[in-house]
Structure 1
Amino acid sequence: MKAVVMAGGQGTRLRPLTSNQPKPMVPVVNKPTIQHILELVQRHGINEVVMTLAFLPRLIRNYFGDGSSLGMRIDYTVEETPAGTAGSIRLAKDLLDDTFLVISGDALTDFDLSSVLSFHKEREAAVTIALKTVANPLEFGVVIVDEEGRIQRFLEKPGWGQVFSDTVNTGIYVIEPEVFDHIPEGQPYDFSHELFPKLFEMGKPLYGMVCEGYWQDIGSLEQYLQANRDALDGKVRLTPPGVRLRGNIWVAQGASLDTLDDVEGPAVIGENVRMESGSKVLSHTVLGANTVLRCGAQVRDSVFGENVYLAPGATVEGAVLGNAVEVHENAHLSEGVVVGDRSIIGRNAVVANNVKIYPFKNIDPGSTVRSSIVWETRGPSTLFGHNGVRGLANVDVTPEMAMRLAMSYGTLVGKGSYVATSRDTHQASRVLKRAIISGLNSTGVNVRDLTTAPLAVNRFDIK
């Protein structure tokens, strides 16, 4: 028996975590998600695996190699152009001459795969789909089966008015090689949208088995954090790296802690982590390898990549940090913040809830960041200074921000007042001035527009 592990996902909704790595390599409790899947199939007696790759395939191949370090044999296929879920499996046709298992490398599960395989053989099915009962089926493909498990109906990502079942497709399949005859070559082809409905219409024996156990699609940052929390709480059967100590605390080799009293479980402390006396790790925290927490640093309900540095007084709550992130003195990262690889958070900076900072960004000391930083290289230090509002056009100072500022000012000076406006010759100034005029007019303020004029002329006009 072989398993096909689908590992071609880009994970666009997981960015900035997936800006520099494929989605299956995103770590859950300090192991790539796909490694948890490989360990799962190995527990059920499957030691030969074919991985289907697409996005940044070299990172996965370099990490796992031929699989010998895990006691497995791993072969690879690479999509040069998008092939769809079924099309990517067809690329591995020459490696699959018997019944095989298909499983996603970017969803976390501990299903009893042996029982799914037995179910498939007992019913002599062409395809068996592992199903899971969920509270909200809107994001998944819904499947309904009869008493024997034979599939009666499919529906991909229904609206509430279309929901006819709460059992959904988990992306785990047992498939007979004869199915390859129905997957066209050289074009994108999907399991759920095309292949399974086609086989259903042909009357092929398609079955679904409702599985017990844990299953979590890691498709968003919220789901990613939840998967780590569930792993720490023991809701999914997996093994974090390291030794389990009191209070459900896992400590890996080489970690340096003065005392466990500074760590509140559940938590995972990675290899060579250094926690200085006075630093605190509170519950549901994962620290990646080589992380350093200086005296007074505090972390709660967060997931760190490797080589993260927290300076004295830095606090991180409910955030995700990529690799080699630096958080300097007394900086604060709030709930839902995600910081990409090799970014630097300056001292006394504050990053507000749900802000995403993409890789290689610098946040200036003392700044307050309330919106995501994607393209620009630096976060603003402050917009309001002694000489007015300053910042990069369309980055720090946007037309919307200029209009809102003008509306605030308009309510301050009062309805019927007169305000003179002018600008320089730059196109950005033209856009921002029009936004300001719109904001002032909306509050009942009269505007004398001097079009293009020096600031001294504007002041003279006011006098």
Structure 2
Amino acid sequence: MPQSSGSSVSPDLSQIVKAYDIRGVVPDQWGEPLAEVFGAAFATVTGADAIVVGHDMRPSSPGLSRAFARGAASRGADVTEIGLCSTDELYFASGHLDRPGAMFTASHNPARYNGIKMCRAGAAPIGQDTGLAEIRDLAERWSATGLPAATDEPGTLTSRDVLGEYAGFLRSLVDLSRIRPLKVVVDAGNGMGGHTVPTVLDGLPVDLVPMYFELDGTFPHHEANPLDPKNLVDLQAEVRATGADLGLAFDGDADRCFAVDEHGDPVNPSAVTALVAARELAKNPGGTIIHNLITSRSVPEVVAEHGGIAVRTRVGHSFIKQQMAESGAVFGGEHSAHYYFRDFWNADTGMLAALHLLAALGGQDGPLSALVDSYDRYPASGEINSTVTDQAGRTAAVRAAFTEDEHVTFDELDGLTVTADDWWFNLRPSNTEPLLRLNVEAGDSETVDRIRDRVLAIVRA
């Protein structure tokens, strides 16, 4: 148990307690003593008598996870340790066992980082406004004074392997019984996809070509961040070399999934969102679909064409999950390749989205490129980051520049969105870095380039 530092001055944990999770460099910014304090604070704030804890393959993860479990047990919570798992496997355990959960991972961040993603029972998100601020405040206090004495009846620590149950549950949600044989290359990036994919796909008519399935938190081949195009290069080459039907790339904690088609070309995550939305609406006629404001215009178009209701929201999983719960939405998608399902406790799971993609592709004879073509309708810039110290000032300058344009509308749901008949762009600040993020979409590539260059000239002036 952490001892009192002898100081009444509380440490400032704001550098590692982010908007949605805890993340920082180990051991420079945090380590096992602080993990134990976080565990005690988590159990106290959630008031849970039982919690579930899991971790990824980073070298520091097992020790941090066990320290957290000890801290939670000291406050009387019984802890189920599920060991190595993906983040969506932890969400499954939280939903299936109906108890709060904590996942030790830094997702796609470099090896020296680690963090904690936390949720309440039923995989309900914990963020700054839903408990994380209180957890930080308690952790700051107890880091200065030492943890209180353990309760009279400390909780227990037990182990449970839920991988098989997780895989079986996912497969119960998607009918894969009649798909044609598919050759699928999967790049796990030495992350948790190497742990979950073989079990989830076992027994399916899938010729699996594994890449970097060895669990290695030092990421020896490339960063486990498929958002960066350079980390897709190996997967693209292997798909072309093997004549595969598609390729899948998972991030470090395997909650996000990216796809490339039979040519090795990346599949727009907005197209995946639209495709899965159409499939979910076939099962749930008239259902609501959530999409964030930087997904393609094609998403609400496809939703309307399939009789659904599209609801636009801010970027970020806590907003999506909140809207999912409030609206009873059947599915939600983000352009960052986070996919949320009502059938999965409104939590995000890239693996379930991947199964939908396999079912859609394997249920017809055409290639993936032709399948997604009808869902990928507009040229787009992709997300472009600019380092800016005065985010508000540059955003105001962009708004002023477009104010004189005719037939343009503005909204500030998340940053600044400017919309015309045949184009739109969103400019929003990063929550954690001095960046402005720009996304542009239009009816043709020339217009994308024109609007992109006009906005960037102002942002970077």
Bigger fraction of residues in strand = 1
Shorter-chain TM-score: which interval?
A: under 0.3
Q: Higher relative contact order by CA 8 Å / sep ≥ 6: 1 or 2?
A: 2
Bigger fraction of residues in helix = 2
With structure 2 as the length reference, what TM-score do the two structures score?
A: 0.23
